Amino acid sequence: MDKQQITDDKTQQNKEKRKTRRRRFRLVILVLFVLSLPGYYCGLTVRNYEVRDARIQGSIRIALVTDLHSCKYGEDQRKLLRAIEEQKPDVILLGGDVIDDVLPTGPAEAFLSGISGKYPIYYVTGNHECWSGKENYLSSMKIIEKYEIKRLAGDCDIVSVNGTTIAIGGIDDPYAAMVESVIWSKELSDVKKEVQEKASADTFAVLLSHRPEAIEAYAKQGFDLVLAGHAHGGQWRIPGLINGMFAPDQGLFPKYAGGRYEKDGTTMIVSRGLARESTILPRFYNPPELVIIDLVGEGK
């Protein structure tokens, strides 16, 4: 074999090696793509939590609905309404951004109309309802009123379910101050004051607030349970590794993107919300969720 022949053979071998490497690389990309497909699943899921407290006599089931952003769950919201009905909640809490500032209000109204009159329902504002401009904001509040949903804005209501009395307080989103003259921090302390006035100091106190990032302020007021949304689960998740990539007002790798948190005796549950077609980026390993919280007594 002459020198030229040897060189040609080596060149040919190198070409084959490069081709094989490229094929393997493409295969790895394809496998990763196929493996990531279930991550884009965006169907409605139900996530359950249990909160134990000695003051709860019978159990109380709360359905927490946040960040619907006027997204559609079937014709006339049938899928979402059916999911709620199946869970048989004692009370429904709407944690803000039910109505969107960009998408039409029709689907949100279909949802509110579907739950109206069937459960005790409480609502707090979210930032997107406030961002829609004063006129739209006021008409959104009229929609809430029209379906006999009680808006909590720095106050609380006492609710008795299955032999247990609990207080449900709520505060506006801070952006409500843009359209109405309210001072958020004053409202927060007022809610706790009202709980003490309307019930007693040791009544199990729930706070409904759109935003989870103010957990320290909520814990300082001594609420037993805080229910929030707003973070949309941090949009992208890698279960077991990263609980959210980004959330408004928390930035990258948000601490309170979704799940259960404890702070100085206060439990906070953050819903990953129901926003779907309203978001620019698709959700990844972060399906929209209806959150169900069971309040139960110790040892039950």
- Contact positions toward Fe ion, by CB under 5 A? 97, 126-127, 230
Strand partners, 207: 169, 226
Nearest approach in angstroms of CB 66 to Fe ion is 8
Nearest approach in angstroms of CB 149 to Fe ion is 18
Q: How many CA atoms lie within 13 A of 219 on its CB side?
A: 14
User: 40 by DSSP, 3-state: which?
Assistant: helix
Q: Which residue is nearest to Fe ion (CB)?
A: 230
Nearest approach in angstroms of CB 248 to Fe ion is 6
Cβ-count burial 112-137 (b if 16+ within 10 Å, e if not): bebbeeebbbbbbbbbbbbbbeeebb
Nearest approach in angstroms of CB 290 to Fe ion is 17
Nearest approach in angstroms of CB 282 to Fe ion is 18
Nearest approach in angstroms of CB 202 to Fe ion is 32
Q: The tokens of 196 are what? A: 């003490």
Cβ-count burial 194-223 (b if 16+ within 10 Å, e if not): bbeeebeeebbbbbbbbbbbbbebbbebeb
Nearest approach in angstroms of CB 233 to Fe ion is 12
Nearest approach in angstroms of CB 106 to Fe ion is 20
Q: Which residue has the tokens 């989103």?
A: 173
Nearer to Fe ion by Cβ, of 230 and 283: the residue is 230
CA distance 10 to 60: 76
Nearer to Fe ion by Cβ, of 126 and 287: the residue is 126
Nearer to Fe ion by Cβ, of 67 and 187: the residue is 67
Nearer to Fe ion by Cβ, of 203 and 271: the residue is 271
Largest CA distance in the chain: 101
Select from 238, 235, 279 the least CA-distant residue to 32.
238
Sequence-separated (6 or more) residues with CB below 8 Å from residue 277: 71, 72, 103
Nearer to Fe ion by Cβ, of 100 and 109: the residue is 100
CA distance 190 to 210: 17
Nearer to Fe ion by Cβ, of 141 and 159: the residue is 141
Nearer to Fe ion by Cβ, of 143 and 199: the residue is 143
Q: Are 292 and 62 in contact (CB under 8 A)?
A: yes
Nearer to Fe ion by Cβ, of 172 and 194: the residue is 172
